[in-house]
């Protein structure tokens, strides 16, 4: 799975290199296809093909008669793109997704177990700064609910 936080930059041709730890995982499990889409909090979500199918099945099970479900599915799936790593471990992120996440050049790639999040560096640092002080409080609340 995917763990850790890595700073990278997008090259002049718009390619982003996947962290070596993630590339090792992809190679070990012979994962060729990845799916990238609009995430939450202005980041991008990237999934392996198997995890994408799991997520897709969850979201498809939400009734399309609910307005919020239609809106979410439209934005989530219309933003999705199947991508592959090249031999150097780089991916090409579609322009509309870079625009959505306000990515220019510097990014932070974050492993969140079953998915990878790709953030504009400034956005990640802003998000982290706002969230880190409430980490223990959130943890306590979530652990007592479960």
Which pLDDT score, from 0 to 100, does residue 146 have? 55
| Count of C-beta atoms within a 10 Å radius of residue 87 | 5
Q: Which residue has the higher pLDDT, 63 or 22?
A: 22
- Average pLDDT for 63-75: 91
Which pLDDT score, from 0 to 100, does residue 98 have? 97
Distance CA 124, CA 146 (A): 28
Residue keyed to tokens 């995917």: 2
Which pLDDT score, from 0 to 100, does residue 38 have? 97
Model pLDDT for residues 71-113, shown as the tens digit of each residue: 999 999 999 999 999 999 999 999 999 999 999 999 999 999 9
Tell me the domains of the chain and their CATH numbers: 2-145 (3.40.1550.20)
Q: Which residue has the higher pLDDT, 64 or 20?
A: 20
H helix or E strand, kind and range, residue 44: strand 44-48
């Amino acid at each position: 799975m995917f763990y850790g936080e890595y700073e990278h930059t997008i090259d002049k041709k718009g390619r982003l290199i996947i962290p070596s730890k993630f590339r090792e995982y992809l190679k070990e499990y012979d994962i060729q296809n990845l799916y990238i889409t609009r995430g939450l909090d202005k980041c991008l979500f990237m999934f392996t093909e198997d995890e994408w199918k799991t997520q897709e099945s969850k979201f498809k099970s939400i009734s399309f008669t609910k307005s919020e479900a239609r809106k979410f599915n439209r934005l989530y799936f219309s933003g999705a793109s199947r991508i592959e790593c090249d031999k150097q471990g780089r991916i090409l992120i579609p322009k509309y997704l870079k625009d959505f996440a306000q990515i220019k050049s510097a990014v932070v790639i974050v492993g969140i177990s079953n998915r990878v999040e790709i953030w504009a560096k400034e956005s990640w640092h802003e998000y982290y700064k706002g969230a880190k002080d409430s980490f223990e409080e959130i943890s306590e609340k979530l652990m007592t609910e479960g």
